Amino acid sequence: MKTALITGASSGIGYELAKIHASKVGNLVLVARSKATLDELKNELEKQYNIKVYTIGKDLSLPNAAQEVYEETTKQNIKIDYLINNAGFGTFGFYAISNWDKELQMINLNITALCQFTKLYVKDMVKNKSGKIMNVASTAAFQPCPTMAVYGATKAYVLSFSEAVDNEVRDKGITVTALCPGATASGFQAAANMTNSKLFKDKKLPSSKEVAEYGYTAMLKGKTVAIHGTLNYLMANAIRFTPRALVVAMARKIMG
């Protein structure tokens, strides 16, 4: 029985990933700010699948939060087989007038916590010569994102970081997958104040469940870069052959 640690498991893609892993009769460690929400999910999954779920309420944007989670799982003698760094958020608006405190929080969560979690758990995976890591990036990772400059940059970091670490540890029996979803029907757009953005408005979007199922399967297969959706895949790869100035202009138009 494999144990998966999932961050940002209280809603959206992380919530669906928790249900998918539980359905495979795997134990879980769920991390998010709202422990009460996690405990509701814990009770549901333990009853339905006869598994063990351990919940940790933690704001992962705070310094060393990942270290505290690692110490807690170590203290509880929980071996993590799959690490899924899903927690993250975005903000929408022009950088010149945006809120720096919120952007710093985003950098801490989207980059620092993800890197620290990977650093801590990959060491154990190397010792055990097995393990899988999935880092949730975005199709925003493939081009600059006007009106979401910091978010796009954090996801570009996640993609590059994941590919590099995967190359370092693959021969040790470990794989790292960067899941790159496009716009998804989840709580992301509301949290980022993007409800009226062209990227989301009046669009039929894939559900969090669809994206989670795709990502989980890609992780098990050891796929390094997993881009959800055929159109997203084509656009992400077409960017390589398009002048940079045009790429940025097109991204600005799409974001709205």
pLDDT interval class at 10 (50, 70, 90): very high
**Gap between the Cα atoms of 192 and 185, Å rounded:** 13
**Gap between the Cα atoms of 205 and 220, Å rounded:** 25
Residue 64's domain comprises 3-255
Q: What's the mean pLDDT in 66-76?
A: 98
Q: Is the pLDDT of residue 50 over 80?
A: yes
Q: Is the pLDDT of residue 72 over 80?
A: yes
Query: Largest alpha-carbon pair distance within the chain?
Result: 54
> CATH no. for residue 250?
3.40.50.720
235 touches 249 (CB < 8 A): no
User: Model's pTM, two decimal places?
Assistant: 0.90
- Considering its fold, how many domains does the chain have in total? 1
Query: The tokens of 124 are what?
Result: 């154990």
Q: Is the pLDDT of residue 256 over 70?
A: no
Q: Which pLDDT does position 242 carry in this prediction?
A: 79
- Type of residue found at 186: S
**Gap between the Cα atoms of 255 and 78, Å rounded:** 42
Q: What's the mean pLDDT in 200-228?
A: 90
Q: Which pLDDT does position 240 carry in this prediction?
A: 84
